[in-house]
Amino acid sequence: MDPDSTRPGSPRADARGPTPRVPERGLRRHRLRGRGGVRGFTLLELLIVLVIGGILAVVVIQSFSRVQGRMGARAAQSNVMGLHAQARAYAVERGQLVGFVVDAGADEVRVELGCAGSGQVLSRLNLAAEFAVDVQAPGNPLILCFTPRGIADPARGTVATATNIRLVRGDRESGVQLLPLGQARSQ
């Protein structure tokens, strides 16, 4: 092989032609106008990224608060249903009258001995403090009086017809329907 054939300007090197230039793919390189040709992003590009990030943050926060409100109302509903079942179980286990009391004024639900609404409290749940939920019910307090057989006695309580209890947190709500013989349904 001739050593001159690889030098620029030699007849063999020029016969192959110039080396083609391959364009770069991917991100374009930006240069700030200033001394030294420092590479980086322009102020406008950085501001656009910050604005888009701020908009995404607002959307995520709003979605999170909606989900949190919905979950708070559902958790309150689940706990009310649990206390209802607990009141029935206490009545059967103890062989006594047990009241399931919904106090909308205090935003609480409680289980207590007797059906007067002022007996010994066995369990209490303040829905406003625990779940930030507002209790809305017709009549205050609502008392569902369970007999030792586990059936509610409408003559001793204040629930004589199907009664809806609304559990509201912000713009989200769930509910529980109490029936005169002691059943409870989620709504």
pLDDT tens per residue, range 133-163: 999 998 888 999 999 999 999 888 888 899 9
- Give tens-digit pLDDT for 85-133: 999 999 999 999 999 999 999 999 999 998 877 789 999 999 999 998 9
In a domain, 10, yes or no: no
Report the alpha-carbon distance of residue 143 to residue 103 in Å, rounded.
Answer: 9
In a domain, residue 115? The reply is: yes
Which tokens is 169 given? 């947190």
Give the domain range for residue 112.
Answer: 62-186
Residue 180 inside a domain? The answer is: yes
Task: Compute the distance between CA of residue 77 and CA of residue 173 in angstroms, rounded to an integer.
Answer: 9
Residue 151 sits in a domain whose CATH number is 3.55.40.10
**Tens of pLDDT along 17-71?**
666 665 555 555 555 455 556 678 899 999 999 999 999 999 999 888 777 777 8
Determine, yes or no, domain membership for 2: no
Domain assignment present for residue 176? The answer is yes
**Looking at the predicted structure, is the pLDDT value of residue 11 above 70?**
no
Number of domains in the chain: 1
